Amino acid sequence: LYTAPDSCEGRCGEPFSEEDECHCHPECGTEHNCCEDHERHCGPDGFSSSRDSITDQELLELSERLYELDHNKARPGDIAINPQHLAGPDETGDKRDRSPQPLYKYVNEELFSKPTYASFIKLLDNYQRATGTEEEVTAEELREQDHFLREVMRTELMQELFVFLQGKNRYSSEQEFLQDLKEMWFGLYSRGDGERDSSGFEHVFSGEVKKGKVSGFHNWIRFYLLEKQGLLNYFSHNFNGPWDTFPDVLGLQFSWDGFYKEVGSAFIGCSPEFEFGLYSLCFLARPGRACHLSLGGHRLSVQTYPWTKSSYGSGRRFI
C-alpha cells in the first residue's frame, strides 16, 4: 500500500530519478544502486509486478483528469484576490508587512454550503495549534472526520482516484481506501515530547505553530476565514502561478496571531476534495519525493513527507 522511499514495493520498473534514495529500474543491478529489497519485489518471483507501479506519465495524466473533475471549485467570479507586493528572495524572511490590504477582496461564501466545504470547515476548529500540546479528540470530532471522508468520497474526483489506485492493487475496496485515508490523515503522532499532538490534516490544512513559527498551513479556505476574523495578516507573495482560472497557486508570507510563515504555497479556489485527493495521490505514489503533476497544461510539483518516527497498520506511515 505504502511506497517507502527506500523500498521497491510498488516501484518495480519505475523510471530512474536522481531524487530517489535507491532505485528499482531494470538497470539498477548493473549500476549498483538498487534498493535492498529489489530482488525480493522485482526479481522473477518478486512480490510487486511492474504493472502496479505508478509511472511519471500516469501521474501527469491522472492529475489532469482530477483537475477537470473538480466540479466544486470556485468559478471566476467567486473569488477576488489582491496579491499586492511581490517579494524578492531577500524579502521573504524579514517579517515586514508590505501589503496594506487583505489578500481576499471577495469570496462568494455560498461555496461553503456545498457538502464537502461545509464538512471540511467543521474540522478546522478541532486542533490545538501549538505542537507539544496533546490533542483531545472527542466523539463529535471523530464523527466530523467520518462525515468529511464520506462527503469527499461521494465526488466524481475521489471516485476517479480510488478506481485508479484499485487498478494498481493498492486497495481492494472503497472501505479499505476510506479507512487508510482516515489513518493517514487524521491519525495522531507526536511532534513534541511524546504527546500525540499532531496529524497530517492538522499540519497541512489547519496549520500548526512550532518553535515560534507557523508550520504547514496550506489551505486557502482556512486563510480566508482567519483573515476575515482579523487573526491573520497577509504580508506579501513570492510566487503567482500561471493559471488564469481557479485553482491557481500562490506562494505567500503572512503572520498568524504574531507567528510568521515565511513561504507557504497554497492552491487558491480549489475544492477541499481536490487538494485532499491530489496530496493523497502524491503521498501514495511518491512519498518523501517530489511528485510531478500537470494541471490545465501547466506543470507543478507536490512534495509530501512521511512521518518516520511512528506508523500504523503494518508499518504504514502518516502523511
Task: Give the per-residue pLDDT at 4.
Answer: 64
Calculate mean pLDDT across residues 225-254.
97
Q: What pLDDT is recorded for position 40? A: 78
Q: In this predicted model, which residue has the larger pLDDT, 49 or 179?
A: 179
- Report which of 250, 213, 252 is spatially closest to residue 129, judged by C-alpha positions: 213
**Residue 51 DSSP class:** G
pTM of the model: 0.86
What sign results for the dihedral spanned by CA atoms 134, 140, 144, 150? positive
Query: Quick one: pLDDT at residue 139?
Result: 94
Give me the residue spans of the domains in the chain. Answer: 1-53, 56-304
* DSSP string over 101-130: S-SEEEE-GGGGGSHHHHHHHHHTTS---B
Among candidate residues 36, 103, 114, 20, the one with its CA nearest the CA of residue 73: 114
User: Does the domain formed by 1-53 have CATH 3.20.20.120?
Assistant: no
What is the pLDDT at residue 131? 76
pLDDT value for 37: 84
**Residues with catalytic roles:** 203, 218, 261
The residue with greater pLDDT, 41 or 252, is: 252
Angstrom distances, CA of residue 196 to CA of 96, 171, 242, 319: 34, 28, 39, 15
* Bigger pLDDT: 92 vs 3: 92
Sign of the four-CA dihedral 223, 64, 71, 81? positive
- Grid cell digits, residue 238: 513570492
d(CA 96, CA 139): 42
Over the stretch 194-208, which tens digit does the pLDDT of each residue have? 788 889 999 999 999
Span 168-185, mean pLDDT?
A: 96
- Please check whether residue 133 is in contact with residue 195, taking contact to mean a CB–CB distance below 8 angstroms: yes
Q: Provide the angle, in degrees to the nearest 10, between the axes of the packed helices 272-285 and 139-153.
A: 90
In percent, the amount of the chain with pLDDT more than 70 equals: 97
**Where is mean pLDDT largest: 29-33, 50-54, 103-107?**
103-107
pLDDT at 180: 97
Average pLDDT estimate for 311-316: 88
Model confidence band, residue 46 (pLDDT cutoffs 50, 70, 90):
low
Q: What is the pLDDT of residues 141-169, one digit of tens each?
A: 999 999 999 999 999 999 999 999 999 99
Q: Are 202 and 82 in contact (CB under 8 A)?
A: no
Q: Please, what is the average pLDDT of the chain?
A: 92
**Is pLDDT above 50 for 1?**
no
β-strand partners of 293: 300
First vs last Cα of the chain: how many Å apart?
13
Residue 44's pLDDT is: 66
Cis peptide upstream of residue 247 (ω within 30 degrees of 0): yes
Residue 2: per-residue pLDDT: 47
pLDDT value of residue 3: 55
SS3 56: helix
